[in-house]
Amino acid sequence: MAKKEKKKGTGIVKWSVLTAVMAIIMVGGFVANYFGGIYATTVNIYLGTSTYKVVNGNDEAVYFTSDFSSQEELEAYEAELCATVEAEGAALLTNENNALPLASGAKVSLFARGSVDLMYGGTGSGSVDTSAAPHPAGGPDRLRY
């Protein structure tokens, strides 16, 4: 009996083609996974599916109750709250030691200590490299046109 001889190189060609096809499929899968995550809601709307599912939900459960009986009542409360916050946040100057009115040519700093003695901070992803951070004192000179 004669043994069949294998053609040299046919296995290499098959594996090369198979490797190329699998690489293309893998790259396509990565791209589809990336864009699928970004456009998941759009895809779900197009397919008519829901983005969430309530399991064993109680239809009579109340998850949130408003303190307001109408939208108008809520908006009135918001306007009142904004006015209160504005009033409490407003600062008035007091004329201590008869410092006002200022003498002609007097210089006044409107910056607090925190605006000139900056404290940069943070840890983890909020860490800060202060070596190139701008300083407010040099800001106006850099912004001249």
Q: What is the mean pLDDT of residues 130-144?
A: 62
> 69 is written with which tokens?
């009986």
DSSP 97: G
pLDDT score at 87: 87
pLDDT score at 12: 84
pLDDT score at 145: 43
Are residues 74 and 99 in contact, defined by beta-carbon separation less than 8 angstroms? no
pLDDT score at 113: 73
DSSP 15: H
pLDDT score at 140: 57
Indicate the pLDDT class of residue 27, thresholds 50, 70 and 90. very high
DSSP 55: S
Are residues 40 and 51 in contact, defined by beta-carbon separation less than 8 angstroms? yes
Q: Which residue has the higher pLDDT, 36 or 61?
A: 36
- The count of other CB atoms within 10 Å of the CB of residue 43 is 13
Residue ranges in 1-145 assigned as alpha helix (H): 10-38, 40-47, 71-89, 113-116, 139-142
80-127 tens-digit pLDDT? 999 999 888 877 777 788 878 888 888 887 777 777 666 666 666 666
Cα(141)–Cα(144) distance, integer angstroms: 6
Peptide bond preceding 101: is omega within 30 degrees of 0, i.e. cis? yes
**Looking at the whole model, is its pTM more than 0.85?**
no
33-45 tens-digit pLDDT? 999 888 888 888 8
Task: For the chain, give the mean pLDDT.
Answer: 79
Taking 60 as the threshold, does the pLDDT of residue 1 lie above it? no
Q: Tell me what percent of the residues of the chain surpass a pLDDT of 70.
A: 70
Residue 20 identity (one-letter amino acid): A
